[in-house]
Amino acid sequence: MKATKFSLTALSTVLTLAIFFGCQRPCDAKIGEQISAFRAKTSARLKFRAQEARGAQTNYRFVFPLTPDEETRCPGFATGITVTVAGGKIVGQSMAIRMGDAYDEGRALAARRALDFILEAIGKPKSTSQSEDAQQLASIKSAIEQALISNPQNIQFPGFPQRSKLSCSPDGDLLVAVLPPVEIAPPGSYMQGPPR
């Protein structure tokens, strides 16, 4: 199914409801960017948690803190970010989102964070058109609902070779993964296959 300037697969409907939240930029990581540049520009916004080497790749884990307003509106909401690096460059990234206690608020905030996260990861500027942003946001929210009922959603924007996947963890958290184009994925890694 195609929506303005992007497509979602396995998505039954595109909602037209606009949901706007003034949240912080989620990550600022871009596929192919140096990890040192990413860490320098996000050190004030993301809380570093851990670094874990896995063969030729290293995972950097961060917590994305909430604003006081977000904490009030969405108690229990939390976002963790993992940036996967090979050869000093970002080759993939993922975000885990715990929805929290406020059902509607949590899903609306998750949609905004997921959309911003995907756009930043692939290097696509956020739309300056409110109607296009609203359509993208509503589509992401619909994809989140599908992902949370164990129906993973694959997202790819025309003109951007990176692949994104929304799915649900065994604990019920939303998982958003952004993978590099297959041709530049690290050899032998899970990133060479299509999102499943």
- Name the band, by pLDDT with cuts 50, 70 and 90, for residue 77: very high
Q: Enter the tokens of residue 129.
A: 């058109």
Number of domains in the chain: 1
pTM beyond 0.95, yes or no: no
Asked if 6 and 156 touch (Cβ cutoff 8 Å), the reply is yes
pLDDT surpassing 90 at residue 184: no
Map residue 18 onto helix, strand or coil: coil
Using CA atoms, how far apart are residues 98 and 132, in angstroms rounded to an integer? 27
Q: Which domain holds residue 154?
A: 2-192
| Residue 70 in this model has a pLDDT that exceeds 70 | yes
Which whole number is the average pLDDT over 57-64? Answer: 94
**Spatial separation of the C-alpha atoms in residues 138 and 145, rounded to whole Å:** 11
Provide the mean pLDDT of the chain: 80
User: What secondary structure does DSSP assign to 143-184, as a single string?
Assistant: HHHHHHTT--EEEE-TT---EEEEEE-TTS-EEEEEE--GGG
